[in-house]
Amino acid sequence: NAGVTQTPKFRVLKTGQSMTLLCAQDMNHEYMYWYRQDPGMGLRLIHYSVGEGTTAKGEVPDGYNVSRLKKQNFLLGLESAAPSQTSVYFCASRRQSSYNEQFFGPGTRLTVL
């Protein structure tokens, strides 16, 4: 049981490049979330999903797109990366029927030059 995994762990992009971050969970959780964390700050919600095929915007969705084609996977895309998107990205998941215990992945450290 791996929990929540994130791929890749590190990435460096040039401004304007695109990339996709993958989040996978093996706990059969319905809800999944993408957060970003800037230095010295708390996490901010980018997008979330309450089930396969559904997504919704969080606090800071601009510049990102997401997809949830399979229940276990939640993808975060950057179509045209900007230096302001340099951050650590965390994915989380939880059961729909549970209290709000979210299980977080180890994070992806992204640098945009």
Partner 1 sequence: DAKTTQPTSMDCAEGRAANLPCNHSTISGNEYVYWYRQIHSQGPQYIIHGLKNNETNEMASLIITEDRKSSTLILPHATLRDTAVYYCIVGVQHGSSNTGKLIFGQGTTLQVKP
Q: Site for partner 1 (CB under 8 A): which residue of 34, 48, 64, 74?
A: 48
Interface with partner 1 (CB under 8 A), residue from 2, 14, 69, 96: 96
Is 42 a binding residue for partner 1 by CB under 8 A? The answer is yes
The minimum distance between CB 13 and partner 1, in angstroms, equals: 20
Question: Does 98 engage in binding with partner 1 (CB under 8 A)?
Answer: yes
- Least distance in angstroms from the C-beta of 84 to partner 1: 19
Supply the minimum distance, in Å, between the C-beta of residue 26 and partner 1: 16
Whole-angstrom Cα distance, residue 26 to residue 15? Answer: 33
- Applying CB under 8 A, which part among 14-22, 53-61, 66-74, 75-83 lies near partner 1? 53-61
3-state secondary structure the chain: CCCEEEECCEEEECCCCCEEEEEEECCCCCEEEEEEECCCCCEEEEEEEEECCEEEECCCCCCCEEECCCCCEEEEEECCCCHHHCEEEEEEEECCCCCCCCEECCCEEEEEC
Task: Judge contact between 40 and 25, C-beta under 8 A.
Answer: no
Positions in the binding site for partner 1 (CB under 8 A): 4, 31, 33, 35, 40-45, 48, 50, 56, 58-59, 90, 92, 94, 96-107
